[in-house]
Amino acid sequence: MTRPAALLLGRIDHARPEWEALSDIAELQEFSSGTLTTFHAALLAGAYSNVVAIYRTFDSGVSLTGPFSRELISVLPPSVKFICHNGAGYDQIDVAACSARGIAVSHTPAAVDAATANVAMMLLLGALRRSWIPESALRMGRWKGEMQLGRDPEGKTLGILGMGGIGSAVARRAKGFEMRVVYHNRRPAREDNGAEYIASLDEFWGLCDIISIHLPLSTTTKHFITHAQFSLMKRGVVIVNTARGAIIDEEALVQALESGQVGSAGLDVFENEPEIHPALIGNANVVLLPHIGTATVETQRKMECLVVSNVRSALEKGTLVTQVPEQREGGQFPVL
């Protein structure tokens, strides 16, 4: 009888031994170089006809296969029952198309919470102090340059948009800075760390001195914040985004910054990565990072190990450890 196979798309840097240990229960295959065209050709040639579980690295979606679109999912072998994605966000995967084909999808929540929350707090503090202005002046030999007085976090109202694992971790950290923390979700969170639930979005926008975004990207959250929402916020509000760039209408953000409606921003994600709106780059009131929220050795290892755990569970038990919520809530899975 042919052994089931697990297919790695991309490269594992921190949990290679754990991946190789899966050889005790499956044939291990890898696709680490090539293009969508070559991957598509390999699929059609039957190269992966016994693959049951796919380990999908985030970088493979950029440099190898591209997003797991409905078209790509339609040509996966019938044997594929699991896609194990490395990343808390999984907007690169058409989950509805996977569900229609009986493919269960996992992601890596919790593993990313601490690192991403730390970056959110770093951006929050940097945006309050407009830290880029004196730092860039210092590097150019001008000491403080055109430094302006910043603002302290104490006593400010931080609004968390999306109180999941990362939002909850931000709330815990913000309490240490003596901030009032409020949040908005579709429903009250199970773990809010003492934050106050605001059911009305309009009320939420108007309450916050700082807004930190922690929503997943989907068709319903793309451009969730645009001109109308900015107009409801306090003048001079600080915006922090470590979720996905397209949740904010970037052009609307640029205009809000230029008008002073948004006082400053801290951004780790952008609408059309790796492209960044030139007006953001040129605005001294914006602190910019190149999507490094989870870029620590410890977090990358936790993420890779969790994906391997999902692959092992898929092969041994026919279930996933951290299945995406749409499928869990739909009650369609496990598939085996």
Assign 58 a pLDDT band (cuts: 50, 70, 90).
confident
C-alpha distances (whole Å) from 139 to each of 285, 290, 301 are 17, 19, 33
Of 273, 275, 298, 316, the active-site residue reads 273
Residue 235: the pLDDT is 98
Burial category of 77 from C-beta neighbours within 10 Å (exposed 0-12, middle 13-18, buried 19 and up): middle
pTM, entire model? 0.90
Assign 335 a pLDDT band (cuts: 50, 70, 90).
very low
Residue 120: the pLDDT is 98
Look up 273 and say whether it is catalytic.
Answer: yes
For residue range 230-262, list pLDDT tens digits in order.
999 999 999 999 999 999 999 999 999 999 999
Assign 61 a pLDDT band (cuts: 50, 70, 90).
confident
For residue range 88-113, list pLDDT tens digits in order.
989 999 999 999 999 999 999 999 99
Strands ordered across the beta sheet of 196-197? 196-197, 180-184, 157-161, 210-213, 237-241, 262-267, 286-288
Residue 59: the pLDDT is 86
The lowest-confidence range among 5-14, 25-34, 311-320, 325-334 is 325-334
What is the rounded CA–CA span in Å between residue 324 and residue 112?
15
Of 244, 250, 277, 304, the active-site residue reads 244
Residue 330: the pLDDT is 56
Q: Is the pLDDT of residue 20 over 70?
A: yes
Assign 1 a pLDDT band (cuts: 50, 70, 90).
low
Q: What is the mean pLDDT of residues 28-46?
A: 92
Q: Is the pLDDT of residue 210 over 90?
A: yes
Strands ordered across the beta sheet of 27-31? 27-31, 5-9, 51-56, 82-85, 104-106
- Please check whether the two domains, 5-111+298-330 and 113-288, share a CATH topology: yes
User: What is the average pLDDT score of the chain?
Assistant: 94
Domain range annotation of the chain: 5-111+298-330, 113-288
Q: Three-state SS for 196? A: strand
Of 11, 40, 223, 291, the active-site residue reads 291
Look up 277 and say whether it is catalytic.
Answer: no
Look up 129 and say whether it is catalytic.
Answer: no
Assign 196 a pLDDT band (cuts: 50, 70, 90).
very high
Assign 334 a pLDDT band (cuts: 50, 70, 90).
very low
Domain spanning 5-111+298-330: which superfamily? NAD(P)-binding Rossmann-like Domain (3.40.50.720)
Q: Is the pLDDT of residue 336 over 70?
A: no
C-alpha distances (whole Å) from 186 to each of 76, 120, 197, 278, 279 are 35, 22, 10, 34, 33
For residue range 290-328, list pLDDT tens digits in order.
999 999 999 999 999 999 999 999 999 999 999 999 998
Backbone angles phi, psi at 103, to 5 degrees: -105, 125
For residue range 124-159, list pLDDT tens digits in order.
999 999 998 888 888 889 998 788 899 999 999 999
Residue 280: the pLDDT is 97
Class of the CATH domain delimited by 113-288: alpha beta
